[in-house]
Structures are given as C-alpha cells and as structure tokens.
Amino acid sequence: MEIVVSGTRPTGILHLGNYYGAVRNYVRLGDDPNVRGYFFIADYHSLTTHNNPEELKLLVKQTIATYLACGLDPEKVVIYVQSDVPEIPELYLLLNMLAYKGELEKVATFKEKIKIHNENINAGLLTYPVLMAADIIVHRAHKVPVGKDQEQHLEMTRNFAKRFNSRYDIDFFPEPIAYNFGDELVKVPGLDGSTKMSKTGGETNAIFLNEEPDAILKKIKRAKTDAGPSEPNSEKPQEIQNLFALMQIVSKPDTVSFYDQAWNTCTIRYGDMKKQLAEDMITYLTPIREKINELIRDEAYLGRIVKRGGEAARESAQKTVSEVRKIMGINYF
C-alpha cells in the first residue's frame, strides 16, 4: 500500500487554487485502491497566524464540508483534524531536536510571513515546517499531493526523515515526495494580477469554492487587465496570463484557443473573455458549492466523520511514534 498524506489550514474558505492545486488530487489518489490516504485539517498550523476561536470552529467545519463536497470519500480515505491526533505534536517535539535554527530561518514562507505578521513572530511560525514534517511522516507517507508553494516544505520533510534515519542508523522513515501525478506542481494565480490565489489575499484575489454565481461574475469582471496587445503575437503581461491560466482550468480547450488566437491577432475583447470565463467558472464550481451548502447544515454528520477519521489516524500515528520512542531509547522499563 502506498501511503498518501496531505492537509489544509483552516484560515479561510477554500478557493479554486486549493481545489485545483491540491484537493482534486487528494480525491484522485484516494480513489486508487492501492493508496491509503490520510487527509486532515491543519488546525494547529493555522494558530501560527490566526487566533480567533469562533472563526476557527466555523472554518474547521467548513473545511471538512469542503473536502467532502469536492469528492473525498470517508469510506475510502481517513479524514481527520490534526489536533485529534496527539502523536503529531509528540513527534513534532522529537523532530525539533533534529531541526536547526539556521535552516528554519531560511525557509521562504517563514521570511514572507514574518514580513506580514511582524507583530507576532512566534516560535510556531519558525518551526512550522517541523510540524508539517511530523504530520507527514507520522504515517510514514510516500506521497504528498500539494501545490507548488509547499515544495520547499516537502524538501525539509525529506531532510528531517533522512536525518532521523542517519542519526539512529536505521531505515525507518521513507522520504516523501510532493506529488502531482508526474506533472509539475500547480500554482493557480489570483484575479488581482498576483501569481498566487490565496485565502488571505483579499476579496479581489480569490474565487472561493462556496461563492455564488453573481459574486463570481462580479469578481471576474473586476479582474485586472491591461490596455490590450499593441502588436501581434506579443508576450502576455502577468494579469492577462493569469486570466488565460484560469481559463485553462475551467474552460474547454477550444475556448482557450479562441481567445489565444484573438490575443495573437490583437482582436481580443476582454469583456467577452471575462464573461465566458465567469460562465465556465460558475459551471465548474456549482456542484461543489451546492454540496458544501448542503453538508454544512449537518454538523452531526461532519462530527461523526472526523471522529472516526481521528481514531483511524491515531491508530496509524501511535504505531509510528511507539517505534520512534524505541529507536530513540525512550522506553526505560
């Protein structure tokens, strides 16, 4: 069996980037009978930057509903909340002894986050990749479906796994890889001209998975564009490339070629392109939105799913951590 692990922080409603870059692949992998999939809500990770208890409660439920609405099947995969598995923070603590301050300070996401959250540069933010490694190797995972922005974290996870193996001279942890079915990892761009769609990028950046059709239309109409090409076959500026990238996700190949051709011949009409993009986006997301709205009403069901998932995740995590304790000599009598 191949072990697959991945998670999402409950810091906002999931958006098209989360879906297309990650959750869609959780589903594809979870459907493979040769895969044992563990998909979780990274609530501890969200506490490095977010600390509103009421919002956390809502967003954890919302994320579970979103996982299910996107097609994750609790009969096939384990769906759980990170904080329901105390072996994860235990392994995190043990891995912290293998992690160097210098390497943690060099992580790109740490450097970015301390710029944004410079009033709260906490130790959790610095050791974020160690907790993430614990999430992954606690199930001795092989593959981790994630978007491009998580590539460096996966590299660090492999380093910690290797370091553990070599320090204790044992081939215990596999070295997990960031996985997208052999393709490059994905980075879905924002509507505001930025290269990444993000949960915290503001109203003009992301299309959320529960977004109503008229809101989608409004956002896409307002998306950043330029004055149009002045020469045939010219290079597309970032904001226009972004619109095309989004179109590639939700529209038919013919539609993309049509607008590509229009760009190349300087006949493109952004108004038409945006209308088409909005229409295709709405078609793409409507089944997910409807399912989220239906599932979010049934809290008892969501609770049952993660209770059962938490138990299964703990069983797997306990096995690993009890081995780790033995390997490290933490078994005295």
Contact residues toward ligand TYM (CB under 6 A) are 5-9, 17-18, 21-22, 42, 45, 132, 135-136, 144, 146-147, 149-150, 153, 186-188, 196-198
Q: What Cα–Cα distance (Å) separates residue 207 from each residue in 41, 47, 189, 265, 268?
A: 20, 24, 11, 30, 24
Tokens 């590299």, located at residue:
155
How far apart CA 240 and CA 58 sit, in angstroms, is 35
Q: How far is the CB of 167 from ligand TYM (least distance, A)?
A: 22
Give every CB contact of residue 163 below 8 A, 6+ residues apart in sequence. 98
Smallest distance, Å, CB 332 to ligand TYM?
31
Rank residues 45 and 229 by Cβ distance to ligand TYM and give the closer one: 45
Q: Select 19 or 263, whichever has its Cβ closest to ligand TYM.
A: 19
Nearer to ligand TYM, 18 or 210 (CB): 18
The closest of 320, 329, 331 to 90, measured between CA atoms, is 320
- Cβ proximity to ligand TYM: between 11 and 229 the closer is 11
Burial class (CB in 10 A: 0-12, 13-18, 19+), 105: exposed
Residue number closest to ligand TYM, CB atom: 21
Q: Do 98 and 137 meet the contact criterion of CB atoms below 8 Å apart? A: no
Whether the CB-CB separation of 27 and 66 falls below 8 Å is answered with no
Q: Hunting for tokens 């993000």 — which residue is that?
A: 198
Is the distance from CB of 39 to CB of 30 less than 8 angstroms?
Answer: yes
Minimum gap (Å) between residue 114 Cβ and ligand TYM: 16
Place of tokens 């598995």: 85
Minimum CB separation from ligand TYM for residue 261, in Å?
27
* Closer CB to ligand TYM, 13 or 282, in the complex: 13
Which positions are catalytic? 113, 196, 199
Shortest Å, Cβ 197 to ligand TYM: 4
